[in-house]
Structure formats: C-alpha cells, structure tokens
C-alpha cells in the first residue's frame, strides 16, 4: 500500500478494483442519472422471471435470457411465441424485429462513442438498453472529455442491466409465491403502456400504433403468435408513409401535404 | 426447453449485432438515411402496441372477457396522456388493477 495521506493523492494508488477515485465518481454520476428508471426495470424483470415459470421453463432460463438478450420486450415475445407452439425461427425473427429499434439508438450513440477505444464501444453496446441509450444521448454533451464520458456511460448502462437481471432472478424466486388470483400477467400490457403512451408525440408514431393494434386483433387466429410480428411490421411500414406534421407552419411546407395521404 | 435455450441464444447474438450496427458502421460524421431513421423510430411504438394488444385483448387466441384488465388499462392510458410520465402510469395502472380485483371484477 503506497497511498499517502497527502491532500490530492494519485487516483491510481487509491484505486478499488484498479479503478481510480475519479472514475468511481464518474460511474456514480451515471448511476444517479438513471436511478429514477431502475424501479421500473426491477418490476419488469420480476414479471419476466415469473412468466418463465408460468410457461413451465426452468428458472435459470430467465436470468440467462436477461443477461444475454437483455431486451425485455423481445424476451416476453419469445416466451409468448414458444407458448403458442411457434417454430424457433418465428420466435427469433419476432424478437429481432422488436429489437430493430436498438439500431436507431446505436446510430444515435455512434458520435457519442466515436472517441472510445474499440473494446469500450463493443462493451458499452452490449449494455445498451432503451433507458440507458436515452439517458446517454441526453447527457453526453455535459461530458466533453471522452475518458470521463466513457466511465459516466458505464455508470448509466452497467448497473441498470445488473438491476434488470436481479429483478428477473427475484421474479423466478417470488413467482411461485404470488397467488394466481393477483393476475401478475397484467404487468405486461401495463409496462408497455407506460413506456409507449407518454412518448407518443408524432403522427407517424400514432398511426403505427393504431395500425399495429388493428392488425394484431384482426389476425388473432393466425398461429404461432405471428399476429404480433405481422402487426408490428404493418405498423412500421404503413406508419412510415404518414408525414410528420410540422409545428411551425413556415417550415418544410414543400413536403407532401397531409391531405395527400391514402 | 432446449428449443427455448437455442432461441434465446440466437436472439441474443442477433440483438448484439443490432446493438453494435450503428456504432461500428457509422463512425463519427456519417448519419442514417432519413427514411431508414424514420422507419426505425416507428419500431418501438409499433412493436409495443402489438404486444399490448396481444396481451390485453387476447388470452391465447380467444378474446379476453371484458373486466379489470380493460378498465385498468384505460386508467393507465388516460394518466399516461395526462401526466406524460412512465412512473405515474405504472403506479396508477397497478393501483386501479388492484382496486378492481378487490372489487371482484
């Protein structure tokens, strides 16, 4: 132990897990930035863990899925597809369509991550979630130093994934204890209403939502849970045809007017 | 069980490829084509709406009988539009659902 009691010790000599004090402070700042969203991840993780047991899969499968796929909506879609006897390929394609949204976050984070070493970019990408991507994009501007920024983003994304995995494990343990009469399955629509509806702000998004719901219900008798996959694709494809309505009437009026829609 | 393990593993690999796509392909100043960006921005609302509709209105392939699920979801949507807050939506939706179950719906 070579650390002295001088007022400004070298961070390298004060390290815990060989991570310096300044880095720990930056990680902690990241954790504080995402902390308000952690309770939702715990509840959602518990719902997924409980669901795994309801469909009769072994309990370890829940934390395994949460630590490898690490995207709750697609994990639930996989379980629902398998429950309806879907072939593996349909379950996988459904999950990947749902997770295609992560490509958008990846593109948004490309300039934020561009000054990081490759192993940091690959590692932080693994920890990317809807929530951590949103917080990272919104707050990265306050961290101009790329070295401190990567520790901050590690704090934003890492512990959030840990909390999600722990919530999943808790759901596996508590799932059998929760009485069936509580109908914990309601957390699935409720969670997605809570994420989806407050963020519905553009006409294309509203149209995609309406089309998706209509198609899912119209195709309710289609086997293997394919109605979810087809409904999502229809919502994306048809919603993309709806133009954004500009708030400022002087801006961008040269584009297709809304009346030209089918 | 083996099927589920393989499905989760392959979905994990594919999802990681999606996660690194933009970070690896778009270095610093290159950006997504606007049409691609718009379509990707609709994946979240379309996919989440599909899951909500499937879980809320259907029970496997049958219509879910009208009751606590629909009413509590209606409360949640109302609060979500009013407060624009994920926390409030979860809280009031869960509270409404519990109250409706206790009321015997």
Q: Give B34 to chain A, closest Cα distance, Å.
A: 11
What is the per-residue pLDDT across A137-150, written as a single tens digit (0 to 9) for each? Answer: 888 889 999 999 99
Domain ranges of chain A: 18-180, 200-239
What is the per-residue pLDDT across A111-139, written as a single tens digit (0 to 9) for each? Answer: 889 889 999 999 999 999 988 988 888 88
Measured CA distances, A142 to A8, A99, A136, A148, B9 (Å): 24, 28, 10, 11, 37
Cα–Cα distance for residue pair A100/B54, rounded to 1 Å = 20
Measured CA distances, B64 to A231, B61, B67, B105 (Å): 19, 9, 9, 13
Q: Give B70 to chain A, closest Cα distance, Å.
A: 10
Chosen from B9, B40, B49 to mutate, greatest number of chain A CBs within 10 A: B49
Partner-chain contact A92 B1, CB within 8 Å: no
Cα–Cα distance for residue pair A32/A38, rounded to 1 Å = 10
User: Which stretches of B1-105 are assigned E, i.e. beta strand?
Assistant: 58-59, 62-63
Its ipTM equals 0.90
pLDDT tier at A7, thresholds 50, 70, 90: very low
Cα–Cα distance for residue pair B24/A224, rounded to 1 Å = 34
Q: Which positions 218-257 of A are in contact with B (Cβ < 8 Å)?
A: 220-221, 225, 227-229, 231-237, 239-240
3 state SS of A16: strand
Partner-chain contact B28 A114, CB within 8 Å: yes
pLDDT of amino acid B105:
78
- Express the helix, strand and coil content of chain B in percent, nearest 5 each: 75, 5, 20
B2 vs A: CB within 8 A: no
């Amino acid at each position: 132990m070579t650390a002295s009691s001088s007022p400004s010790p070298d961070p390298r000599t004060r390290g815990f897990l060989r991570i310096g004090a300044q880095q720990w402070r930056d990680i902690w700042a990241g954790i504080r930035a995402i902390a308000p969203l952690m309770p939702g991840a715990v509840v959602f993780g518990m719902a997924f863990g409980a669901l795994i047991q309801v469909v009769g899969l072994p309990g370890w499968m829940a934390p395994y899925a949460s630590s490898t796929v690490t995207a709750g909506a697609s994990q639930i879609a996989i379980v629902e597809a398998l429950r309806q006897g879907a072939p593996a390929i349909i379950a996988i394609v459904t999950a990947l369509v749902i997770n295609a949204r992560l490509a958008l976050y990846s593109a948004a984070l490309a300039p934020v991550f561009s000054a990081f070493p490759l192993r940091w970019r690959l590692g932080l990408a693994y920890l990317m979630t809807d929530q951590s991507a949103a917080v990272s994009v919104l707050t990265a501007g306050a961290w101009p130093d790329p070295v401190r920024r990567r520790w901050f983003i590690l704090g934003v994304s890492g512990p959030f994934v840990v909390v999600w995995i722990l919530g999943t494990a808790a759901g596996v343990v508590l799932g059998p204890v929760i009485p069936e009469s509580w109908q914990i399955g309601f957390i699935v629509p409720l969670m997605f209403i809570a994420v989806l509806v407050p963020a519905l702000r553009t006409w294309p998004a509203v149209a995609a939502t309406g089309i998706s719901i209509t198609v899912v219900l119209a195709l309710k008798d289609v086997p293997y849970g394919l109605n979810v996959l087809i409904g999502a694709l229809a919502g994306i494809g048809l919603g993309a045809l709806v133009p954004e309505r500009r708030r400022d009437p002087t801006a961008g009026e040269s584009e297709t007017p809304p009346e030209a829609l089918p | 069980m083996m099927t589920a393990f393989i499905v989760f593993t392959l979905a994990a690999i594919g999802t990681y490829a999606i996660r690194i796509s933009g970070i690896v392909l778009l270095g610093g100043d290159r950006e997504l084509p606007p049409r691609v960006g718009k379509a990707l921005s609709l994946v979240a609302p379309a996919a989440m709406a599909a899951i909500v509709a499937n879980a809320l209105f259907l029970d496997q392939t049958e219509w879910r009988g009208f009751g606590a699920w629909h009413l509590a979801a209606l409360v949640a949507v109302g609060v979500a539009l009013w407060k624009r807050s994920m926390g409030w939506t979860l809280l009031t939706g869960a509270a409404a659902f519990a109250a409706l179950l206790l009321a015997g719906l």
